[in-house]
Amino acid sequence: MEKVRRFQAQHIDSRYIAIFLDALFFFLRKDTVEKEPIFFAMGMDIKESGGYEVLGFYTDVKKSHMSYVEVVENLYSRGVREALLFMADGIPKLDEEIGKAFPGADFQLRTIHA
């Protein structure tokens, strides 16, 4: 858990071409075993390599607007200052929340799931 906490708190680059936001559902054991979302943010870096990196992953009891807002706020607090494009599911008003933290970013709705 210490490695996880360090990863979740580490400073990340300030600029990304694109940031993808999504959630995957896994069975997690707490008091009981329940299916819960693990939210993740993956960034395409702006360097010549054009590689992708996992920027963060987060747990919550349900997939909601506020869960995604908290992910975006965490990315900002850890150092991201510019993203050209955010891509995410059709969470209502998520594009507006992203615009508050990253006013220059475009938003693209993801509509296809594998």
Residue type, 61: V
Domain architecture of the chain: domains with CATH:
2-109 (3.30.420)
Give the Cα separation of 93 and 30 in Å (integer).
31
Q: What is the pLDDT of residues 16-32, one digit of tens each?
A: 999 999 988 888 887 88
For the chain, the average pLDDT equals 86
State the pTM of this model: 0.84
